[in-house]
Structure 1
Amino acid sequence: MDPAVAKGRNHLREAMEDVEPGDRVVVALSGGADSLALAACLAFVGAKAGWDCRAVVVDHGLQPGSADVAERAASQARELGLTAEVVPVVVEGDGGIEAAARRARYGALRAQGAAVVLLGHTLDDQAETVLLGLGRGSGPRSIAGMPPESGMFRRPFLGIRRAETERICAAYGLDPWTDPHNSDTRFRRSRIRHELVPLLEDVLGGGVVEALARTAGLVRQDVEFLDALAADAVSDDMGVAGLLALPPALRSRVLRTAALEAGATASDLTAGHLDELDRLVTDWHGQTRVELPGGVSAVRDREALHFVPTP
């Protein structure tokens, strides 16, 4: 057995220790090497564990021939022994094409009735996410990268390199699809992958991808701890005196938690929004409101903050 195959199967087992026989497990399959390797490992591990294993290929319809690419991916999943289907989606809405596609994709995956949905993100994807976060200057939450588990979604390959997923596909005789967007330098992530990461590896003497992923894990522990403290500190009245007494790092998280609970959109809530919320507490001079994504606004009277629908 190829060592990459054994490694992939072991990572999957470790991520799925709480999954029971009969539970439905869905792999989000694009047809690329990462998700196809994950599908191959799921077919083997899932059969032994007695899970109801399926592959779902979301066809965004954004590239010519996308339906053919999707069906080819589904066909390879069926050859592995998985039940597979193609789910076409309509990509529309605010926030740009990538954000709209992500919303449509995750919506289709949530609708599958699965106990667990597996995503094929790798160690390389994690490193690129950290670099994107650093470039945006969006704080520790962004530098913490992608979590191994978020609700029903799990990323068992975050400890596996992209080259290893390609080896898994080769060992299984699979033919991955190469997304042309992944080498298109109009996209920032593509330039990070093909230009910035190799340069950093050269300048710093290697090990950069692993170091960035390690940094993400360490920062995520801090973020999760502070988020837990913030959840305990959120109160219905959001009194200004109590907020002023909190350390800034904790106060920003309390404000973020309160905004999300009021209906703000997490993916669009930026550090700039949080800075304006903080000014309602620390530098209030009669601002009418702070408008947040999701149709929610924060307002202040003398003693407290309140969240209301945006007029």
Structure 2
Amino acid sequence: MKSTAHPDFQIVPAEGARRIAHFKRDEIIPLYEESLPVPQDMRNEFCDFELWECEQSKLIYAMPAIPGSGRFYEWITKEEGYYPTARREWAIIADEVSKLGPDAHVIDIGCGAGNLLDYLRTCTKATLHGLDATPTSVEICRSKGHTAHLGLLSDLIADKANHGKFSAVIMTHLLEHVPKPIELVAEASVLLKKDGGKLFISTPHSPTLYEGSGYHGKNLPPHHLTRWRAPAYVELAKRFGMQVDIRSLVTGSTLGALADHFASALKLKVGRKKLPMEAVKHPVQLVRSLYAIATRDRANGKIIGDDILGIFSF
């Protein structure tokens, strides 16, 4: 990925990138409030921003890339279901980690409440670690008996004993939250064993199927600063001289993905059995949804749904 077209260098819009959207502060708050009320004392977290797309990687990034503060995450992580008890990629990660052997050290960067660590503890014998910058999340993680570090990835790599220590480094739904994702991956690679080590990265795959009717608030700043697609994963691997195995995490069929997109675009709350009747009523939107699904990224012949997983290795 060309550094001049990456959000790590955001002083001016990069050559080879194009502006695709502009949001005012007063426009973004209502988008958040479609799913989560925004308290008055949290409104200063929001600001005007633009979305730019790198032509080469198709990575979409915000300018300015101002992440939510600690207060913001203390607030938003209190939403019921914010930390999922399961993700589609967890079984894939656990299967790969189990192949690394009982002596493997595994770290989950951005471990949150430790739900992925809970899962890995039940199906692998690896030594597990977690890292998170939110104090309450680390407290929950430690209360479960996990080894959890409070701080940033840069804090871990400051200790050279951690260099090349980990057989697996996991970053699930983390890159989209940080202003400099390439820098974060560079730091993560320092922790990774160069012989057989694996880096697992998952993010939302944008646009998500539930964004058929437009942008969704929590997939925008200050929560999500970047929007990822398969080409961005490929360019990320090239940047670090790695190979990447991209996995589709979609469940169901192509027809199901089409139905989800169509229903979301029209904000329909009806069962799938009633969708054919709605398609007759809304033929223009049906064509738009057909095009959106037909042009959507694929991995291993499958449409990529709302989430994407990359397994990176040297």
- TM (normalized to structure 2)? 0.33
- More relative contact order in 1 or in 2 (CA 8 Å, sep 6+)? 2
* Structure showing the higher strand proportion among its residues: 2
* Structure showing the higher helix proportion among its residues: 1
The structure whose Rg is larger is 1
- TM (normalized to structure 1)? 0.33
